[in-house]
Structure 1
Amino acid sequence: MSRRAAADSLHAQFGALGVTDPADLVKSEVMEGAPQLARFVLLQSLWHVAIDGWTGPGSLEQLPAAQRLLAAGADREDLVRLARAVAYEAVFATLDELDAGGDANVMGVQAGWVVMESDEDGSPTGRTLPALHEDLLTMDPSGRDGADLWQ
Structure 2
Amino acid sequence: MSTPTPEPTTLLADIGLAPAMAATIAADVARGDARSLLHELLLRGLWSTVIDEAAPEALHRHGGAVARLLAAGVDLHDLVDVVREAQVDTIYNVAQLIDWPDEGLELGETLDVRLLAAMTHGGGVPSPLPELHASLMERDPAGRSGEPRSPVLRQFGMLDADIRRQITALTGERKFSAAAVLWKQHVGGELKTALAAVQSLAGKTR
Give the number of the structure with larger relative contact order, counting CA–CA contacts within 8 Å between residues 6 or more apart: 1
Letter paired with 2:51? D
Tell me the distance in 2 between the aligned counterparts of 1:108 and 1:138. Answer: 31
Are 1:51 and 1:87, in contact at CA under 8 Å, matched by a contact in 2? yes
Distance 1:14 1:24, change over 3 A: closer
Letter paired with 1:115? L
Which residues of 2 match residues 6-17 of structure 1 at below 5 A?
9-17=7-15
Are 1:10 and 1:26, in contact at CA under 8 Å, matched by a contact in 2? no
Are 1:102 and 1:112, in contact at CA under 8 Å, matched by a contact in 2? yes
Q: Which structure is larger by alpha-carbon Rg, 1 or 2?
A: 2
- Please, which runs of 5 or more residues in structure 1 have no aligned partner? 1-8
State the identity as a percent.
22
- Shift of residue 47, structure 1, vs aligned partner: 1.0
Instruction: For residues 6-40 of structure 1, give each alpha carbon's deviation from its aligned partner in whole angstroms, at most 9, with x where no partner exists.
Output: xxx45333322222242597078378x57212211
Distance 1:142 1:58, change over 3 A: closer
Distance 1:124 1:83, change over 3 A: farther
Letter paired with 2:113? W
Tell me the distance in 1 between the aligned counterparts of 2:111 and 2:44. Answer: 28
Distance 1:65 1:125, change over 3 A: farther
With structure 1 as the length reference, what TM-score do the two structures score? Answer: 0.67
Q: What is the Cα-based RMSD across aligned positions, in Å? A: 3.6
Distance 1:128 1:13, change over 3 A: farther
Instruction: For residues 63-91 of structure 1, give each alpha carbon's deviation from its aligned partner in whole angstroms, at most 9, with x where no partner exists.
Output: 42222221222111221221121111111
Letter paired with 1:15? A
Corresponding position of 1:6: none
Aligned residues: 139
Are 1:118 and 1:124, in contact at CA under 8 Å, matched by a contact in 2? yes
With structure 2 as the length reference, what TM-score do the two structures score? Answer: 0.52
Tell me the distance in 2 between the aligned counterparts of 1:71 and 1:143. Answer: 31
Which residues of 2 match residues 97-116 of structure 1 at below 5 A?
97-104=97-104, 106-107=105-106, 111-116=111-116
Tell me the distance in 2 between the aligned counterparts of 1:112 and 1:56. Answer: 42
